[in-house]
Amino acid sequence: MSEIKKIKNLKEFSTTVERFQGGHRLCPGCSHSIIVREMVNATDDNIVVSTATGCLEVCTSIYPYTTWDLSWLHIGFENAAAGISGTEAMHRALKNKGRSYSDKPTKFIAFAGDGGTYDIGFQSLSGMAERGHDVIYVCLDNEGYMNTGGQRSSSTPPGSATTTSPAGKVSYGEKKLKKDMIQIMAAHGCEFVAQVAPNKWKDLVSKIQRAYQAKGPVYINAVSPCPTEWKFTPERGMEIADLAVDSCVFPLYQIENGTKLTVTYKPKKKITVEEYCAAQGRFKHLFRQEFSHVIDDWQKRVDANWEYLLKREEMGI
């Protein structure tokens, strides 16, 4: 991998040309716009974006308006990876024929939610990685199908109340464990995979700039707290993201070439899963005595995973 470009400072970000404009219809407090803006403004190269159907697509492309000041493609819920793969292949073929439309490098990014990534779009994502397309795939992970009513996905954590895994007198909500997409995509042989959070913008920008330097498929998983379905007030979005990374429920790390793991953020004071859950209405039922074991079990899994990540980093694998 070539030398990584210097991270833009706050002044450079504030004066750069905006590729993701304001005026979109995303909910107040939604982290999607923060993540996307930081990512597309982190480079001055040409960018082509593909979006899956979801909150981001619906709220940024209401005809006749658009938030995107770059080349943009939308086809279907499950097809973000397939669409950007075909676009990247076409660009590569034209460039080989001497028909490139710009002297500047062109980067290809797909944005999708966890429903369009973990579930319905996994087939096209897996194919994109297997074929080795030079594409950055970004999952905006808000842990459910928020655009269509807050249904559970395979990213939804155990204990979460959703419209298809409701909590009640006999059920504590979602029962299944959250799918580990970072490890799955690393096993695909992606050159670079990473988890990021909008509250840690320097870490996010460092990783996306590293992704821009990669030659081959990249997968980025970005936690995106959802005020509507996580049940918190809009102004608390970054606070919730802080709790996610400081509890290590959503650890920030990266894996290069499928093997070398680096933890990029280590909390000075690791908080509990209970504190993370207490800040969100979707988990309020877990504080009833009969469901308290769900948080205890979750804490054990988080601690074990954190120790695994630190040990693997220490071993250099």
Integer Rg of the chain from CA:
19
- Nearest alpha-carbon partner for 171 in 297, 300, 299, 286: 286
The answer on pLDDT for 37 being more than 60 is yes
What is the model's pTM?
0.95
Give the amino acid at 254: Q
Q: Do the beta carbons of residue 104 and residue 79 sit within 8 Å? A: no
Domain presence at residue 181: yes
Domain presence at residue 2: no
Domain presence at residue 307: yes
* pLDDT reported for residue 1: 47
304 vs 247: CA distance, rounded Å: 13
% of the chain at pLDDT higher than 70: 98
Residue 177 neighbours by CB under 8 Å, 6+ apart: 157, 158, 301
Mean per-residue pLDDT of the chain? 94
Domain presence at residue 4: no
- As for how many domains the chain has, the answer is 1
* pLDDT reported for residue 3: 58
CATH code of the domain containing 200: 3.40.50.970
pLDDT of 194-245, one tens digit each? Answer: 999 999 999 999 999 999 999 999 999 999 999 999 999 999 999 999 999 9
Domain presence at residue 280: yes
Residues in the chain: 317
Q: What is the span of the domain harbouring residue 275?
A: 10-315
258 vs 191: CA distance, rounded Å: 7
Domain presence at residue 1: no
Domain presence at residue 72: yes
Mean pLDDT value of segment 172-180: 97
pLDDT of 47-83, one tens digit each? Answer: 999 999 999 999 999 999 999 999 999 988 999 999 9
280 vs 170: CA distance, rounded Å: 21
| 3-state DSSP assignment of residue 138 | strand
Domain presence at residue 289: yes
